[in-house]
Structure 1
Amino acid sequence: MFARLPGWVRQHLAALRILLVFTVVVGVAYPLAILAVAQLPGLNDRADGSFVTGADGRRVGSSLIGQSFTDDAGRPIARYFQSRPSAAGDGYDPTSTSASNLGPEDVVDAFDDPATQGTDESRQSLLTQVCARSQAVGTLDGVDGRRPYCTSSGVGAVLAVHHAGPGYDGRVTRVVSVNELCPARPFLATYAGVPVSCRSLTDDIAAGQRVLIRGDAPAHPAVPADAVTASASGLDPQISTAYADLQVNRVARARGLSADRVAALVRDHTTGRSLGILGEPVVNVLGLNRALDALTPARR
């Protein structure tokens, strides 16, 4: 019967049959097969999200996705170990998993112009984010939060240096602290003999030479890198052992436990390198905080 049909009709019917076959195989059979495999013992928990439940049976999180341990105002709760920062949505949002996509050249903050109605143009540079986080962690955990190229106020220590000659030649005529909006007092009084001024919204900082000031911060900051930078996914549930160790004394004081007892719990929730050689040891924050609550339940 099909032999009597025009050639172009037979070609379309063949294409339709192929479409139907692949729809059944790839669109129905394959997903069902993957679903069946995912429900095998040992795999079903990971496939379903690796949820963690509390004593009352309610879900309190996932062992594979980070979460914040802050109060309603966003302040860190001293009783809990803090997670790595997140750039996924409003934080640890699995539907918006992403990094900030900011690199080491991102050192200049943007400020909102009140004259522009309806839009907020302010944005912290990566450098200022790192500086502010390091300062906050240092204050919370009682350590030196200073970092190179950061001001004491927690912003990037960056200058726009203007010269008399073309380009960056000639004597210095004006210096602006680009991340300190007026009327802030600049972190540096003078540069190359010229007074440093705070930044106004009308300053053309792009016309100046960008100069970063290292300051007197230690070469090896007390606050580790994962405490001040988000991961590529923004969902990491673990922190480095260095960041966990930094928080031990603060959590121990807040819970009335000995530092040795809290440090032992950190070790219990530390996962070593994959295959013994890949990556670094990490600590699962949710698991550690739940173990702490089992010892000293959270106050209602």
Structure 2
Amino acid sequence: MERLPSWLRQHLAAVRAVAVLTVLLGLIYPLVTTGVAQALFSGNANGSIIEQDGKAVGSSLIGQSFTDADGKPVRKYFQSRPSAAGDGYDPTSTSASNLGPEDVIDTGDRQSLLTQVCARSKAIGELEGVSGARPYCTPGGVGAVLKVFPGKAVSVNQPCPAVPFIATYQGLKVECAQPGEDYAAGRTVPVRGDVTAVPVPADAVTAGGSGLDPHISVAYAELQAPRVAEERGLGQAEVRQLIRRHTTGRALGFMGEPAVNVLELNLALDRS
């Protein structure tokens, strides 16, 4: 029998390798891992679904918003961390905002990260009855940032006819920003202000890397406790006890910080 050419033998070997690997890695391996997951970790493998009265209400691994039809916080519920995933907590669009600490100047179609933080802090301060003031934020809830030129300074995140958050900077008069004006040539100067105490925690005003965070910090939960207790007619001690009950410790005992699962806490409040 005539021996096959070497190039044909190589191609046949490649086809056999593809077929074997397809069966092993595309069929057998997924079936085995799925079977093991279902046998040993069925709850986690199926999405860690939380049910109430026989109905799925969410997942312990994916956050959700507790707002009304207008997007306003429902006052009787603890509020989640902000989300940058789609319209909020969309598992199909999990992502961060990709904005960094140097993103401080608003543009015509987008708020800077600094202004987003300032606006969230102001809103949370009003909701919880505390000061929402933060360093580098104006009292109106935008980034306190100047563009400095020879002879003038412009509060670039305060379009006219807004009154600038400071009247002068190093002897220069501070002006409001004229819409459509290009201030890129100026020197960027964030102004810290004299804020010392910041009652609103960082996780309340910044979105997490996944945009799906189901937890908030203990500090943020404690900040919300008086409002929730008042809305529900409960004692603050009772609400804080529920917070402690739904607080998870550090991973492996030393990684990260304790955190509170918002959905589980709100469901426990509904049952109380």
User: Same fold per TM (> 0.5)?
Assistant: yes
1:163-182 equivalences under 5 Å are 163=150, 173-182=151-160
Q: Distance in 1 between matches of 2:105 and 2:271?
A: 45
Alpha-carbon distance in 2 for matches of 1:255, 1:201: 45
- 2:240 matched to 1:253? no
**Residue in structure 2 matching 1:148, options 132, 135, 141:** 135
Q: Which runs of 5+ in 2 are unaligned?
A: none
Deviation at 1:195, TM superposition (A): 2.1
Match of 1:193 in 2: 171
Task: Provide the residue aligned with 2:255 in structure 1.
Answer: 278
The CA distance in 1 between the partners of 2:10 and 2:245, in whole Å, is 65
Tell me which of 70, 73, 77 is aligned to 2:70. Answer: 73
How far does residue 216 in structure 1 lie from its aligned partner after superposition?
Answer: 2.3
> Match for residue 42 of structure 2?
44
Q: What residue identity is the alignment partner of 2:271?
A: A
- The residue number in structure 2 matching 1:35 is 34
Amino acid at match of 2:205: V
Alpha-carbon distance between aligned partners in 2 of 1:189 and 1:274, rounded to the nearest angstrom: 49
- Percent identity, aligned pairs only, is 62
What is the identity, as a one-letter code, of the residue corresponding to 1:222?
P
> 1:196-219: per-residue Cα shift (whole Å, max 9, x none)?
11111332211111111111222x
Q: Over residues 223-261 of structure 1, what are the superposed CA-to-partner deviations in whole Å (9 max), with x where a residue is unaligned?
A: 000000011111110000000000000000000101111
Does the alignment pair 1:139 with 2:126?
Answer: yes
Supply the AA of the counterpart residue of 1:9.
L
1:86-97 map, 5 Å: 86-97=83-94
Q: SS in structure 1 opposite 2:154?
A: strand
Structure 1 portions without partners, runs of 5+: 112-121, 164-172, 296-300
Aligned residues: 272
Paired letter, 1:31? P
Q: What RMSD over aligned residues (CA atoms) do the two structures have, in Å? A: 1.1
- C-alpha displacement of 1:82: 0.4
Q: Does 1:290 align with 2:264?
A: no
SS of corresponding position for 2:156: strand
Residues 91-110 of structure 1, C-alpha deviation per residue, up to 9 Å, x if partnerless?
A: 11111111111111000000
Q: 1:221 aligns with which of 198, 203, 206?
A: 198
1:291 deviation in Å?
0.3
Q: Secondary structure at the match of 2:162?
A: coil
Q: Distance in 2 between matches of 1:106 and 1:68?
A: 26
Q: What amino acid sits opposite 1:68 in the alignment?
A: S
Q: Which residue of 2 aligns with 1:119?
A: none
Separation (CA, whole Å) in 2 of partners of 1:226 and 1:23: 44
Bigger Cα displacement from structure 2, 270-279 vs 200-209? 200-209
Q: Which amino acid aligns with 2:93?
A: S
Structure 1: distance between partners of 2:252 and 2:46: 25
Give the distance between the partners of 1:92 and 1:202, measured in 2 at CA. 34
Q: State the alpha-carbon separation in 2 of the partners of residues 103 and 15 from structure 1.
A: 47
Q: Which amino acid aligns with 1:48?
A: N
Query: 1:94-147 CA deviation, whole Å, 9 max, x = no partner?
Result: 111111111110000001xxxxxxxxxx10111001100111111000111100
Q: Give secondary structure in 2 for the equivalent of 1:83.
A: coil
